[in-house]
C-alpha cells in the first residue's frame, strides 16, 4: 500500500498496515478507540491520524516496540 499524507484507507488496508485482524479493528471502531470517519455505512481511516493515534497509544512499549 503506497501512502501519502492525508491518505484515506479502508479497514482492509488498515488491517494489513497494522498487521492485525479486521475483527479486532471492527471492535476497536465500535468501542470508539480508533480514529475514523464514516462515509455512508463504511468506516474510513486517515493514515496520518492512525499513525498519530498509534504512537500516542502504543509508542512507549517496554520492549522497544518489538511485539
In the block, cell 492485525 appears at 20
Distance in angstroms (rounded) separating the CA atoms of residues 39 and 45:
10
The reply to whether 15 falls in a domain is yes
Q: Which residues form the domain of 46?
A: 10-58
Domain-located, residue 35? yes
Q: Is residue 1 part of a domain?
A: no
Phi then psi for 5, rounded to 5 degrees?
-55, 135
Model-level pTM greater than 0.85?
A: no
Question: Would residue 63 count as lying in a domain?
Answer: no
pLDDT in tens, 2-57: 655 469 999 999 999 999 999 999 999 999 999 999 999 999 999 999 999 999 98
User: What DSSP element (H or E) covers 16?
Assistant: helix 11-18
Give the count of domains, the chain. Answer: 1
Residue 64 lies in a domain: no
Does residue 21 sit within a domain? yes
Q: In 3-state terms, what secondary structure has residue 65? A: coil
Say which residues have a Cβ less than 8 Å from residue 17's Cβ, sequence separation at least 6.
1, 9, 47, 50
Question: What is the pLDDT, as a whole number, of residue 6?
Answer: 60
Amino acid at each position: 500500500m503506497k501512502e501519502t499524507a492525508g491518505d484515506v484507507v479502508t479497514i482492509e488496508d488498515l488491517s494489513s498496515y497494522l498487521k492485525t485482524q479486521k475483527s479486532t479493528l471492527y471492535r476497536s471502531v465500535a468501542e470508539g478507540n480508533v480514529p475514523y470517519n464514516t462515509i455512508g455505512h463504511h468506516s474510513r481511516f486517515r493514515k496520518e491520524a492512525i499513525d498519530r493515534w498509534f504512537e500516542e497509544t502504543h509508542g512507549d512499549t517496554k520492549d522497544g516496540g518489538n511485539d
